[in-house]
Amino acid sequence: MRNILILIICLAVTFGFSQKNALVSFEQVISLKSVAAPKISPDGKTIVYSQNTTDWANNSYDSELWMFREGMDPVQLTRTDKGSSFSADFTPDGKFVSFLANRGNKTQLYIISIYGGEAIQVTKDEEGIGSYAWHPAGNRILYSRNVSESKSEKSLKERYGAFGIEGEEYRHSHLWLLNFSLDSISLAGQYPCYFSKNDSVKLNPIVPCYRLPEAKQITEGDFSISSFGWSPDGKYIALNRVANPLINGNVTSDIYLLNPDTKVLTKVVSNPGGDFFNVWAPDGLSFVYGSSVADSVSNYYKNNRLFIYDLTTGKSREIGKNLDEDKSVVDWNGTGLYISAYAKTRRILYKTDPVSGATSIVSLELDLPSGMAFAKTNSTIAVIGRNHNTLNEIYRWNPGSKPVSVTNHTAQIATWNGPTNEIIQWKSKDGTIIEGILLKPRDYDPGKKYPLLCVIHGGPTGIDLPDPMPGGVYPMVQWVEKGTLILRVNYRGSAGYGEVFRSLNVRNLGVGDMWDVMSGIDYLNSKGMIDTARMGCMGWSQGGYISAFLTTNTNRFKAISVGAGISNWVTYYVNTDITPFTRQYLQATPWQDMEVYLKTSPMTNINKAVTPTLIQHGEFDKRVPIPNAYELYRGLQDKGVPSKLIVYKGFGHGINKPKERLAALWHNWLWFNEFIFGEKDEKMPID
């Protein structure tokens, strides 16, 4: 099977070379391997991480666990047929790696020795499990799952068929506790009778069965548990309790302490806004949590806030107040409390004083560290991250020294003709300083004027970063190879530039964003770099909305692509699964202030539209529901503007399968090649 898959990938790569003037095919970019989620053993000698690959045969992305051990090259640890292995962790004694996988009986927990062998199934839950955490002593496992469908729910469905009530289509998530012991399991031969036969090394062909222990439910009621963590002494569990598991239920999140033996829940943090447990202090006397406190009207675009709750006093104190950006808690261990945040196009690691709350920068020598795991018994740290000119790698790091890479995924692109990335700045219409990433061909000629394509990120609190091989549904690498400049704009509202900057498009969505994109184009034109007769723009989600706004408010582009974009804020407001987003950014409902909805909606100026526009949308998108796509398409069609609507069947807000992503790349490639480069006759290859 694996050999067949390799053959299919090779054939796909060969077919990709039909792209004109492109040496790197779409399939090659989609097939790039990547790494994620490192975990480190208590002694710091072993690192486990996920490696993600593209499975063209099954039209999916596969994630399996790989392991690095001191003095050895990384080896593959798990193989789950027709699925992934994920959520890895080490057992507290460091002898095993635990992980989740669906191996034909819903998602269950498995363990596998760090020396390899078959994975041993630990749970056999009828509903499958969601997330889990080891008790510090290693003799208990806490996990969450959805409650089972009740008899009355089943009877209702049998009598009346399928229907749903808005806001009530969910099952609560609760906690189960499983006692665990290796005493009855010998790695010399005792395996469950339903184990997978595809892990790293088969140790013994004799496979007797053993009975799995049964888990006991320890929370119940008309609420859900969204996340949780054992205290260092294992006596308590800190958890987030929400009214329901829907996305907007987070605003109801409060923090409770649970005694797993008595099942008593004690509320400890409860603000009008959402409160979210992060990590315990090493001594177990306090924990870090995030909170919007009383803010439920601007938390979408304002900085998050972090606090330490003291169990002894019952009081909280804020930390990280000197950081003007959204903050992520990395860890709190014997060496300190660590948080991270964007600083423009870099991500910085900070060490935080738990008493004063002040922060200081930790030198890491990586532009974009994105995840860390700390060893329990020494200072060794596993890091995932990259520099602006590399792909993500797994590093082993001891503070005070340089991180040492244990993977080499950047070698995949060593011979590819990727773009060069340059960070540029300009002034927008209102004087705001805007940054962007300018992609250039490696043989860029300053004496030549180039076609320009703008690619706009989503969010709006996303961010574009220098990237040697940008992916997604826009063939940026191939366009740059073709001889095009690409501008990726960090427009107002983007992450990394502080709270005031993120607030600049409040009640000014689309309008201010357009200023930032068009002023960037004017800046490049003033430098004599671009051919303004050959310009296009595209984006997904919020980037799709801005692209739609440009479609109906300017005629300077020759072609535009709108991916999962908002066309009418009223349509969006009444359809989306995150209704508070609209109320916060426009600071009103349509019934309170229709004027601001009209000012910021692309459809308001549909009669001015002249730009050929491609519209791409997922059939079952709940974030930006598909009526937005049909509304824009019908308006453009009625005006006689060249337009095409492509619906990706079965998809939500993102295109998360390789074949449909390949299709979306081709759709964008052909659209812009026709209207920017005049290559109308090029077709998608079918063999």
Residue spans per domain, the chain: 223-362, 417-677
In 3-state terms, what secondary structure has residue 346? strand
β pairing state of 613-618 and 559-563: parallel
Q: How far apart are CA 254 and CA 259, in angstroms?
A: 16
Classify strands 643-648 and 613-618 as parallel, antiparallel or unpaired. Answer: parallel
pLDDT band at 183 (very low <50, low <70, confident <90, very high): low
Q: Give the pLDDT of residue 3.
A: 40
- Whether residue 277 contacts residue 331, with contact meaning beta carbons closer than 8 Å, is answered with no
Q: How far apart are CA 588 and CA 567, in angstroms?
A: 18
Residue 99 φ/ψ region, left for φ over 0, alpha for ψ in the -120 to 50 degree band, beta for the rest: beta
DSSP character for 149?
P
Please say whether the structural domain 417-677 has been given the CATH code 3.40.50.1820: yes
Q: Residue 210: its pLDDT value, please? A: 52
Do residues 324 and 305 make contact, with C-beta atoms less than 8 angstroms apart? no
Looking at residue 23, what is its pLDDT? 83
Mean pLDDT throughout 363-389? 94
Dihedral angle computed from the Cα positions of residues 299, 302, 308 and 311, in that order, rounded to the nearest 10 degrees = -20
Does the structure show a pLDDT above 70 at 284? Answer: yes
The predicted pLDDT at position 211 comes to 59
Residue 96 pLDDT > 70: yes
Query: Sign of dihedral through CA atoms 644, 559, 344, 384?
Result: positive
Quick one: 448 exposed, middle or buried, by C-beta within 10 A (0-12, 13-18, 19+)? Answer: exposed
Q: Per-residue confidence at 638, pLDDT binned at 50, 70, 90?
A: very high
CATH number of 223-362: 2.120.10.30
In the chain, DSSP finds a helix count (H) and a strand count (E) of 12, 36
Q: Which two tokens stand for residue 663?
A: 């299709």
pLDDT confidence tier of residue 13, bands split at 50, 70 and 90? very low
CB burial of residue 664 (10 Å; 0-12, 13-18, 19+): buried
Q: What pLDDT, in 10s, does the model give residues 68-95?
A: 998 899 999 999 988 999 999 999 999 9
Cα–Cα distances (Å) from 450 to 113, 475, 533, in that order, read: 56, 17, 10
Taking the model in full, what pTM does it have? 0.91
Question: How far is residue 587's CA from residue 684's CA, in Å, rounded to a whole number?
Answer: 44
Calculate mean pLDDT across residues 117-128.
91
> How sure is the predictor about 22, in pLDDT bands with cuts at 50, 70 and 90?
low
Least confident of 352-366, 501-515, 558-572, 648-662: 352-366
Short-list 123, 121, 113, 122, CA closest to 201: 113
Residue 473, SS3?
coil
* Chain-centre distance for alpha carbon 19: 29
Mean pLDDT, range 575-592, rounded to an integer? 96
pLDDT per residue over 406-438, tens digit each? 999 999 999 999 999 999 999 999 999 999 999
The pLDDT of residue 195 is above 70? no
Reported as a single tens digit per residue, the pLDDT across 519-562 is: 999 999 999 999 999 999 999 999 999 999 999 999 999 999 99
DSSP 61: E
Q: Is the peptide bond before 460 cis (omega within 30 degrees of 0)?
A: yes
**Contact at 8 Å (CB) between 288 and 333?**
no
Q: By C-alpha distance, which of 388, 393, 473 is closest to 438? A: 388
pLDDT at 192 over 60: no
For the cut 70, the answer to whether the pLDDT of residue 128 exceeds it is yes
- How many Cα atoms occupy the beta-carbon half-sphere of 581 within 13 Å? 20
pLDDT score of 310 more than 60: yes
Cα separation, 300 vs 509, in Å, equals 14
C-alpha 383/C-alpha 392 separation (Å) is 10
Between CA 562 and CA 644 the distance in angstroms is: 10
DSSP string, 115-139: T----EE----TT----EEE-TTSS
